[in-house]
């Protein structure tokens, strides 16, 4: 009798990664000697290898979770289960929006590995935006992604037993704790994970002592902790989106879990808003700058419009909710989602400015005084959004306000 032993977890390197991909028969055996492997991970948490056949140029991606957060090191242990969550979430998303996520070829929860489609012909949205590029499909694609993944994972569509099974399957306590701490807690207190230049101290202290603001953040944090409404991507910032002229792909859903419906859109809007601010420093030519900034605001508007239209259509055609025909039920859900998204966006703007994980949009502003100016603006903007979330009643009210901020 032969007993098959599951391979023990080892962090992969540029040689051992070949042992994972050889049995997949993705590359034909004749090309195995031509494979070129490169570690290309630039995120905070994981290893990412690109394996390419140097003859045919065919390639794939092997992403592996490390048992700790890469950005900090072994002193911050982190569950390998996030790799299972990531590949499961990609497969789940592919059921409703296959064209908007990378194809998963293989996954192994013991090795904490996901093998997926190579998207190197795309560019990371954050990078593209900083370079002053615009993407015509972005809003429609992200609105479609958010509405479909929300509706099909919600109680509006699923049988309550299936929904609760999914809530269990996507229970992601360790990665949620990162968000609970880094987005909803640490930036609002004098915590040692925070990182900001000394010149921002008085603006930051204003946040720490603003009781009205802190009350709203506590409420948003509680929502994040308790409201298992839809399967979220969980980290939908502009570094988690690959784009090119005719394609959009959402990657990196390792923070996926059941949470409040406005959270993903909030992170998308917040990161577009941060880029909008940073354009004032990055794009020198006024006409070009204005056109990129108006693209960013139009993207926020069109994403929300696509989200509400798509969600409404799905609700009308496919909802099993007993109150589906009751006037105002869908409208209440959408309004609550919208206003809470504004509050979540405010938290994301603040944490990306003074918390542990910044955005290169602001950090790469070369001139120190200009960087400080826009970081202060970001803090004011984030605080306003959190405190005034329920005053916003339409998406254009939000974009007009960002334009004037």
Ligand X SMILES: Nc1ncnc2c1ncn2[C@@H]1O[C@H](COP(=O)(O)OP(=O)(O)O)[C@@H](O)[C@H]1O
- Residues belonging to the binding site are 46, 63, 117-119, 235, 252-254, 351
Are 399 and 316 in contact by the 8 Å Cβ rule? The answer is no
**CA-CA distance, 366 to 278, in Å (whole number)?**
11
Q: Which does 182 bind (CB under 5 to 8 A by kind): ligand LNRAV4D5, ligand X, none?
A: ligand LNRAV4D5
**CA-CA distance, 191 to 187, in Å (whole number)?**
7
**CA-CA distance, 199 to 24, in Å (whole number)?**
54
Residue 47 CB, shortest distance to ligand LNRAV4D5, in Å, is 12
Residues that bind ligand LNRAV4D5 in the complex, under the rule CB under 6 A:
43-45, 69, 71, 178, 182, 235, 239-240, 252, 356-357
Residue 126 CB, shortest distance to ligand X, in Å, is 9
Judged by CB under 6 A, does residue 243 bind ligand X?
no
Residue nearer to ligand LNRAV4D5 on the CB measure, 44 or 396 = 44
User: Which residue ranges are tagged as binding site for substrate?
Assistant: 235, 351
User: Which residue ranges are tagged as binding site for ATP?
Assistant: 46, 63, 117-119, 252-254
Closest CA to 157 of 314, 327, 332: 314
Among 9, 43, 103, 227, binds ligand X (CB under 6 A): 43
**CA-CA distance, 201 to 209, in Å (whole number)?**
12
**CA-CA distance, 243 to 250, in Å (whole number)?**
9
**CA-CA distance, 237 to 268, in Å (whole number)?**
5
Are 185 and 360 in contact by the 8 Å Cβ rule? The answer is no
Are 213 and 387 in contact by the 8 Å Cβ rule? The answer is yes
Q: Which does 53 bind (CB under 5 to 8 A by kind): ligand LNRAV4D5, ligand X, none?
A: none
Q: Which does 178 bind (CB under 5 to 8 A by kind): ligand LNRAV4D5, ligand X, none?
A: ligand LNRAV4D5
Residue 280 CB, shortest distance to ligand LNRAV4D5, in Å, is 24
Which residues of the shown chain bind ligand X in the complex (CB under 6 A)? 40-46, 48, 61, 63, 102, 116-120, 124, 251-252, 254
């Amino acid at each position: 009798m032969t007993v098959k032993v599951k391979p023990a977890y080892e962090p992969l390197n540029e040689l051992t990664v070949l042992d994972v991909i050889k049995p997949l028969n993705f590359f034909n055996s004749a090309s195995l000697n031509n494979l070129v492997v490169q570690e290309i991970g630039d995120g905070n948490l994981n290893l990412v290898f690109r394996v390419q056949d140097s003859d045919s140029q065919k390639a794939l991606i092997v992403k592996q979770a490390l048992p700790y957060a890469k950005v900090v090191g072994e002193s911050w242990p982190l569950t390998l289960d996030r790799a299972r969550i990531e590949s499961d979430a990609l497969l789940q998303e592919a059921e409703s929006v296959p064209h908007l996520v990378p194809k998963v070829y293989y996954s192994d929860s013991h090795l904490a590995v996901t093998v997926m489609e190579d998207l190197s012909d795309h560019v990371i949205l954050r990078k593209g935006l900083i370079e002053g590029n615009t993407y015509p499909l972005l809003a429609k694609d992200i609105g479609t992604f958010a509405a479909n993944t929300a509706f099909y994972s919600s109680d509006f569509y699923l049988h309550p037993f299936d929904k609760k099974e999914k809530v269990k399957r996507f229970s992601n306590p360790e990665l949620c704790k990162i968000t609970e701490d880094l987005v909803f807690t640490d930036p609002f207190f004098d915590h040692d994970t925070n990182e900001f230049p000394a010149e921002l101290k008085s603006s930051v202290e204003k946040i720490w002592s603003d009781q009205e603001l802190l009350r709203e953040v506590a409420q948003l944090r509680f929502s994040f902790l308790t409201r298992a409404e839809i399967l979220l991507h969980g980290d939908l910032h502009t570094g988690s989106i690959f784009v090119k002229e005719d394609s959009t792909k959402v990657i990196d859903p390792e923070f996926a879990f059941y949470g409040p419906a406005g959270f993903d859109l909030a992170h998308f809007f917040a990161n577009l808003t941060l880029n909008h601010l940073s354009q004032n420093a990055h794009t020198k030519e006024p006409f070009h700058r204005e056109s990129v900034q108006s693209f960013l605001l139009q993207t926020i508007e069109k994403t929300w419009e696509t989200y509400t239209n798509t969600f409404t259509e799905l609700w009308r055609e496919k909802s099993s909710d007993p109150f589906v025909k009751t006037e105002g039920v869908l409208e209440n859900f959408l309004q609550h989602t919208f206003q809470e998204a504004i509050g979540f966006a405010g938290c994301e703007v603040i944490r990306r400015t003074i918390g542990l994980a910044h955005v290169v949009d602001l950090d790469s502003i070369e001139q120190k005084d200009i960087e400080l100016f826009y970081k202060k603006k970001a803090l004011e903007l984030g605080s306003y959004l959190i405190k005034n979330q329920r005053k916003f009643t339409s998406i254009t009210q939000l974009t007009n306000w960002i334009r004037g901020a």
